[in-house]
A and B are shown apart, each in its own frame.
Chain A
Amino acid sequence: GNSVTQMEGPVTLSEEAFLTINCTYTATGYPSLFWYVQYPGEGLQLLLKATKADDKGSNKGFEATYRKETTSFHLEKGSVQVSDSAVYFCALTSNTGGFKTIFGAGTRLFVKA
């Protein structure tokens, strides 16, 4: 079946550090890939998405590239801020998986001033 694996947290960084959160997936068909973010006290919200191989999703300084050859969708940001502290979820939706979105376990990010 379809699945998503992302690096365990927590990840603790100083402000302005470079961020990478690894995500790999297993899926049949041609999945769409997503990163969702959950800020403290708030609901899950879409951060970025990519719908086909080699697409790059970007938003708020975050980027992720859909790599079909390595089945990966790693999240990166060049300079994190304290306000980026949150839990980040990698997810996929496959058109052969009944259109349900499958989530990874989440990676908690702490950014220190």
Chain B
Amino acid sequence: DIQMTQSPSSLSASVGDRVTITCRASQGIRDGLGWYQQKPGKAPKRLIYAASSLQSGVPSRFSGSGSGTEFTLTISSLQPEDFATYFCLQHNSYPITFGQGTRLEIK
């Protein structure tokens, strides 16, 4: 199975900050990675697909980059509604596996 190592596990930041979250795959997954936002009691919402493509309707302050084994999600200027948990998902091969999640909290 492909292991996805996500960091950091938690992050405190302020409105307006730029934040970056990283996922590393234990083997190459090309661009088979998505980034998701999850708020308490809600289903995950996809932000980025194919590593760097912005999901329709998602604000442009979210961006993704990377290919192969290292990937990043960047939020360019945090807004109050962005405080949530974020996780990556690889679908290059079965079983699909997930990063452990990053809890983004207000400083």
Q: Is this pair of chains taken from one and the same complex?
A: no
Interface on B for A, CB 8 Å cutoff? Answer: none
